[in-house]
Structure 1
Amino acid sequence: MNPEPRSEGVSGMAIRGHLDLRCERRADGTTYISRQSFRAPIHLSKPHQESGALVVHLVNPTAGFFDGDRLDLRVEAGAGSSVVLSTPGASRVYRARGSEAAICSQQLTVEEGAFLEWIPEPFIPQAGAKYHQRTSIDLAPGAGLLFFEWIAPGRVARGEVFEYESLRWELDLRVGERLLARERYTLDPATQSLAALKQRFPESHYLTVYTSGILGTAWPGERLDELNGEKVYLGHGPLEEGVAVIRAVCADSLAARELLGVLRRVLHEAAGRAVPRLGRLNL
């Protein structure tokens, strides 16, 4: 997936931003940033080493996304590197002022022997919001991945529950040249597309995890099954080439955050890795 041609910076009422980041491994085994370029609404905080990985925080210094805004992200984890990408704050998209959606295009590449964790804070769509996210993940055979997504139902404290106009989610995950996962779905409160999310919990938070690099014999299936409970409904399953997916709906934000913390620990341990601390609650 190649980003569409675009002008950069602020144009009219819209922002055209980007992140181009590549990390590589030095001879002594440490990971460093070998290439970086970014423009609002993205800013990189100072990266640091933690538990054998380079932790990079992506900060959005603006209020959030509006219709017509576009963000293109390209992240590469070079051979043998270990990278954790985190966002210290939630991503917000505001009520649309016109017919255009806010667009985020994400390209993640994990090369041979590398590991990449993508763990953002929740995505919070406000009433009347329109948003379109496209994600492409390319893995070398045997590369490690933890890719988390967390979609909130809206600003629950303000009574905005599933009041956004539409969310469009697309994802392609490849190992080598082989397509292993393809998602295409639209969440629209005016249709039945939210029925499954609302069935278990009226204000459900939706979590997805794609993982790679955990050997089949080490897959923590029983531990994951034990996470089901009064406020969590979780399922998981293998794909191929060592890739697996976890889906969960949670009753509220506290249950979602607690589940996210537990999943990180369980999955890192199953892969034989230390858990990099992010400096956030339960994370």
Structure 2
Amino acid sequence: MNSAFPVTGRSIRGHLDLRSDVRGDGTPFLSRQSFRAPIHLSKAHVESGSLLVHLVNPTAGFFDGDRLDLDITAGKSTRLVLSTPGSSRVYRARSESPAVCQQRLTVESGAFMEWIPEPFIPQAGARYFQRTEIQLEENADLLFFEWIAPGRVARGEVFAYESLRWELDLIAQGKLVARERFELKPGDHSLTALREKFPAAHYVTVYVTMAADAWPAAELDALHGERTYLGHGPLFESVHIVRALCADSLAARALIGELRRLLYEASHQPMPRLGRLIA
């Protein structure tokens, strides 16, 4: 993960290595942290029983050849919430190499992790590859959001990127529960499903653990409407998925806020305030 040459004339090699644990009195804290540009951490603080950490990118965004490696662990019995106060952006590629983000999230026994970033915005001509591995131990809980925007809509850049490649493996108690492999390229059929429903669709995915008898199916069904096309269902034991297409950024933001509220209420846990537009 560490490199002797993290910055060159054309690229950045950044990393985040983070672990939370609990003190003897039950207070969560960061027991390990190491980071390098383009990542910076806010001062972690406890909010509604969870340790809240904002991941900040103080740079303009990602360029081709940039690489970011994240390794984040919620230690046994801790509650960790990770948020980003600003959107992630990837810019027009100057070569055939994509910007790369590799992230590994581990939730140990009895722990909870929420991952709730602002939207990922690919600009015209961008190339990007993201791989995520999520490991859930026994009795571990997860609330994982992803939000992919179509581009800079106000600039007329709707699905104008070169390529977005996404990989995700979700492993619960040693069993592969979900595997995603897709590449979105405006020049082929891969965007057909997104474009058919809304001309500038925002794509939202949520993975969440919850007992089947607590799953708020009727409330989630009610979120389906003219500006939001939503589906949900179980994957394995307590692991569920929600997928949605939204007409625009306002619909996506409203949906994520409502999903977050519903899922916290259904789990009977206090919802930490994030201190940004998604409350």
| TM-score interval (norm. to shorter) | over 0.9
Quick one: which of 153, 158, 168 aligns to 2:155? 158
1:48 matched residue in structure 2: 45
- In structure 2, which of residues 173, 191, 199 is the aligned counterpart of residue 202 of structure 1? 199
How many residues are paired up? 279
TM-score, structure 1 as length reference = 0.97
- Report the Cα distance in structure 2 between the residues aligned to 1:229 and 1:175, rounded to whole angstroms: 32
What are the equivalent positions in structure 2 for 1:1-283 lying under 5 Å apart?
6-212=3-209, 214-283=210-279
Once the 2 structures are TM-superposed, how far is the Cα of residue 106 of structure 1 from its aligned partner? 0.3
Which piece of structure 1 moves more, 264-273 or 93-102?
A: 264-273
Deviations 1:123-170 (A, max 9, x none): 000000000000000001221100000000000000000000000000
Deviation at 1:282, TM superposition (A): 3.9
DSSP-derived class of the 1:266 partner: helix
TM-score of the pair, normalised by structure 2: 0.98
Which range moves more in the overlay, 37-46 or 173-182?
A: 173-182
Offset at 1:29? 1.3
Q: Secondary structure at the match of 1:10?
A: coil
Q: Secondary structure at the match of 2:169?
A: strand
After superposing on structure 2, the runs of 4+ consecutive aligned residues of structure 1 that deviate more than 3 Å are 5-8
Letter in 2 for 1:15: I
Task: Give the Cα–Cα distance (whole angstroms) in 2 for the partners of residues 26 and 8 of structure 1.
Answer: 36
Q: List alignment gaps of at least 5 residues for structure 2.
A: none
CA RMSD of aligned residues (A): 1.0
Note the C-alpha offset of 1:280.
1.2
- Equivalent residues of 1:142, 1:242 under 8 A apart: no
| Identity between Structure 1 and Structure 2 (%) | 65
Aligned to 1:262, the other structure's residue is in SS state helix
Distance 2:42 2:102 in 1: 21
What stretches of structure 1 of length at least 5 have no aligned partner? none
Give SS of 2:7's match: strand
Deviation at 1:8, TM superposition (A): 4.5
Contact 1:228/1:234 (8 A) holds in 2: yes
Cα distance in 2, alignment partners of residues 6 and 267 from structure 1: 40
Deviation, structure 1 residue 30? 1.2
Secondary structure, in 3 states, of the residue corresponding to 2:218?
helix
